[in-house]
Amino acid sequence: MKKEKIVYAGTQYISYLDRVNDKDFLDNINTYVITDLNFDGYPELFMGMAAMTSPELYTALTIENHQVKKIVFTGDTGGSNYCYNGAQYLFSCRKNKLHLGVPGLLNLERRLDSKTKKGHWIANDGTQLNYNNYQGSYLELKLNGTNLYAKERFYYQYDNEYSLKETYRVNKKKVSRSVFEKSLAQYKQYNKTQLYKKNHSSYGDFDEAPWSDYKYHIEQGVKQLKQ
């Protein structure tokens, strides 16, 4: 990514957030993720809450035609799909249903198909539903303009105490746990990870500035991506 485009995107996102009248949603933010999903040089911005049982994604922004635009999610839903009091936030659940949670972005990987030699994004978007119950899905992501399309490749739900029935899917077809594990292992074997630039905030970053200080955290993300 060119440094000029990274700086431009960061400046535009800050300016956009400055103009938002109702900033109450910032009280629930503890995660910022900045990465270039469509390789146009302008990184996308995602803001949300990394939490055990409710990892909501509140804001998803991109640069199109030199302007900040909201990202619209289409396709399949991730394993940590939540909508937090949507009407009062930038990313309205009524208009644009959230298909992805914060875990999917923190666990985002770029993988290369060994046969086609084409790369793709895969997000392990999972959450802990309660103390022992886990649910998640591996979503293949593609950003085209302002539309982020999600395709479910794998889905899992299991309980450590086995009090609930386990559910596994491969390409949306129900399978046994052994078939799921074998298919996932084969996928990882034939789709090797690729390096890419991403910056995400950690809890330690909030020792330097409050969660709601989006200017500080976006500027830090821009600084890291420029290196």
pLDDT 10s digits, 73-118: 888 876 655 444 433 333 444 444 556 778 888 889 999 999 999 9
pLDDT tens for residues 110-144?
999 999 999 999 998 877 666 667 788 899 999 99
| Residue listed under structure tokens 């999972």 | 126
Tracing tokens 């990892």 back to the chain, one arrives at 55
**One-letter amino acid for residue 155 of the chain:** Y
Rg (CA), the chain: 18
Give residue 173's pLDDT: 96
Task: Supply 157's token pair.
Answer: 């739900």
How confident is the model at residue 58, as a pLDDT? 79
- pLDDT above 50 (res 172): yes
| CA 180/CA 158 separation, integer angstroms | 12
Separation between Cα atoms, residue 135 and residue 128, nearest integer Å: 6
Bridge partners of 68? 63
Q: Can you tell me whether residue 194 is helix, strand or coil?
A: strand
Which is nearest to 106 in space by CA: 53, 158, 57, 43? 57
Give the DSSP H/E element, type plus range, for residue 168.
strand 167-170
Residue 70's CB is within 10 A of a number of other CB atoms, namely: 15
Domain boundaries, position 181: 3-226
Looking at residue 97, what is its pLDDT? 54
CA distances from 129 to 4, 55, 155, 167 (A): 42, 10, 14, 14
Q: What is the per-residue pLDDT for 87?
A: 36
Distance between CA atoms of 86 and 79, rounded to whole angstroms?
18
d(CA 60, CA 198): 15
pLDDT in tens, 17-76: 999 877 777 777 888 999 999 999 999 999 887 765 556 777 889 999 999 999 988 888
Residues 175-225 have pLDDT tens digits of 999 999 999 999 999 999 999 888 887 656 666 778 788 999 999 999 999
pTM of the complete model: 0.86
- CB-based contacts of 131: which residues, under 8 Å, 6+ apart? none
Structurally, the chain folds into a number of domains equal to 1
Residue 35: predicted pLDDT:
94
Instruction: State residue 94's pLDDT score.
Output: 43
